[in-house]
Structure 1
Amino acid sequence: MNLLRTLAQAPMPCMAADPVQIDRLRVLQAAGLVDAHIPQPRRDGLTQDPAAVHAITPRGWKVLRTNRIDAELSQAPGTQRVRPAAGERSHRTG
């Protein structure tokens, strides 16, 4: 969420070269929260070309507005919500 908030304040396109930040961008992209071009790591496995974030998606803006990411992620393409089996207790609190 912090990276998404930071991106909301940045002019687009926004470049990211830090490997940790690029990994976080992959998560945001997989969740459908940003439109980004993230190159594959180089063959040496040690270097990575910078990623370019082109836009925050409508889903990303909604997450920022509502400050709720869990409900949005359950609707992201390729994801599904895992529920406890009958008789098991959920570990969620609140």
Structure 2
Amino acid sequence: MPMELLSRLCKATMPCYVSDEDDIEKLSVLSAAQLVEADIPPMLEDAGLRWFSGVAVVHRVSGDGFSAVNGRTKRPLAFAGPGMERLPWG
């Protein structure tokens, strides 16, 4: 679950390197939700198989990331793309 990974990242020394494919996928979700700042390697595909081209690097957990782990979020978290405002739930 992405929140379990986020909890581990809150306790980790940065930068943190992530090589496990499942954790990189979870990390991409956390990054899209702006809970962490991370460099995610590109995904490669060949003959129907998909994998990440390298390791991910987590630079920091955001304030919202720490709040989410501690259960103190003041507003619902929503996905937003680069340069976009957070989207309200509802």
Which TM-score bucket, shorter chain as reference?
Answer: 0.7 to 0.9
Cα deviation code 1:55-82 (max 9, x no counterpart): 00111011122266xx4323x425553x
Matched, 1:72 2:76: yes
TM-score by structure 1 length? 0.70
Equivalent-residue separation in structure 1 for 2:45 and 2:8 (angstroms): 30
- The answer to which of 9-18 and 34-43 deviates more is 34-43
Equivalent-residue separation in structure 2 for 1:16 and 1:7 (angstroms): 10
Equivalent-residue separation in structure 2 for 1:61 and 1:51 (angstroms): 20
3-state SS of the aligned residue for 1:73?
coil
Length, aligned pairs only: 80
Percent identity between matched residues is 34
Structure 1 gap ranges (5+): 84-94
Structure 2 gap ranges (5+): 82-86
In structure 1, what is the equivalent of residue 13 of structure 2?
A: 11
Equivalent-residue separation in structure 1 for 2:50 and 2:67 (angstroms): 35
Q: More strand by proportion, 1 or 2?
A: 2
3-state SS of the aligned residue for 1:55?
strand
**Letter aligned with residue 7 of structure 1:** L
In structure 2, what is the equivalent of residue 61 of structure 1?
A: 66
Equivalent-residue separation in structure 1 for 2:27 and 2:18 (angstroms): 9
Equivalent-residue separation in structure 1 for 2:69 and 2:51 (angstroms): 31
Rg larger in 1 or in 2? 1
CA-atom RMSD in angstroms: 2.2
